[in-house]
């Protein structure tokens, strides 16, 4: 067993974990931050994407002890300070970029990382960036539309699906 401490969504967090405990399990089970979803446990689906020291990471591929001392941001930390949805989350809602919602936290976290790297991505750049995130409901069209809208680009010419 190991003591692990990190900053999660701006707050100190710690717990005792087995050395093999995944970051996704630590966030969900120890810290009760259940917005980080576990879809495949093999890094194929992207439902567990969080930011570790500002970089998008699939939390099912990282051990909790590897995140010791790190700054971790989960979907719960994405809202504005007043609790309202941030621009990206609001765009997902406004443009119907979610259906069942299972992939949504990982999609939002990946999209936020993309927009940090590339504030005005093209549709093709978004598609390439999201290759590690799987959605079985939306067909991706509205997710891409939401990301384009969040980046401030005009989406009025894009047909609704």
CA–CA dist 82, 76 (Å, integer): 13
Global confidence as pTM: 0.94
CA–CA dist 126, 75 (Å, integer): 19
At 109-161, the pLDDT tens digits run 999 999 999 999 999 999 999 999 999 887 789 999 999 999 999 998 886 65
CA–CA dist 122, 155 (Å, integer): 12
Query: What local confidence, expressed as pLDDT, does residue 160 receive?
Result: 62
Q: Which two tokens stand for residue 64?
A: 């909790």
> What is the 3-state secondary structure of the chain?
CEEEEEEECCEEEEEEECCCCEHHHHHHHHCCCCCCCCCCCCCCCCCCEEEECCEEEEHHHCEHHHHCCCEEECHHHCCCCCCCCCHHHHHHHHCCCCCCCCCHHHHHHHHHHHHHHCCCCCHHHHHHHHHHCCCCCCCCHHHHHHHHHHCCCCCCCCCCC
At 51-106, the pLDDT tens digits run 999 999 999 999 999 999 999 999 999 999 999 999 999 999 999 999 899 999 99
Query: What local confidence, expressed as pLDDT, does residue 62 receive?
Result: 97
Query: What local confidence, expressed as pLDDT, does residue 28 receive?
Result: 98
Instruction: For 35, list phi and psi in degrees, rounded to 5.
Output: -70, -25
């Amino acid at each position: 067993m190991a003591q692990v401490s990190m900053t999660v969504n701006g707050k100190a967090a710690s717990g005792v974990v087995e050395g093999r405990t995944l970051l996704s399990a630590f966030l969900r089970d120890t810290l009760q931050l259940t917005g980080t979803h576990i879809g495949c446990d093999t890094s194929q689906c992207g439902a567990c994407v969080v930011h570790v020291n500002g970089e998008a990471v699939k939390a099912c591929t990282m051990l909790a002890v590897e995140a010791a001392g790190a700054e971790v941001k989960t979907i719960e930390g994405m809202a504005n300070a007043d609790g309202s949805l941030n621009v990206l989350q609001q765009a997902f809602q406004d443009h119907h970029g979610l259906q069942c919602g299972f992939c949504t936290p990982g999609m939002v976290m990946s999209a936020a990382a993309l927009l940090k790297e590339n504030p005005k991505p093209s549709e093709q750049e978004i598609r390439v960036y999201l290759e590690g995130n799987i959605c079985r409901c939306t067909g991706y069209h509205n997710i891409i539309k939401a990301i384009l809208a969040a980046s401030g680009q005009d989406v009025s010419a894009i047909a609704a699906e």
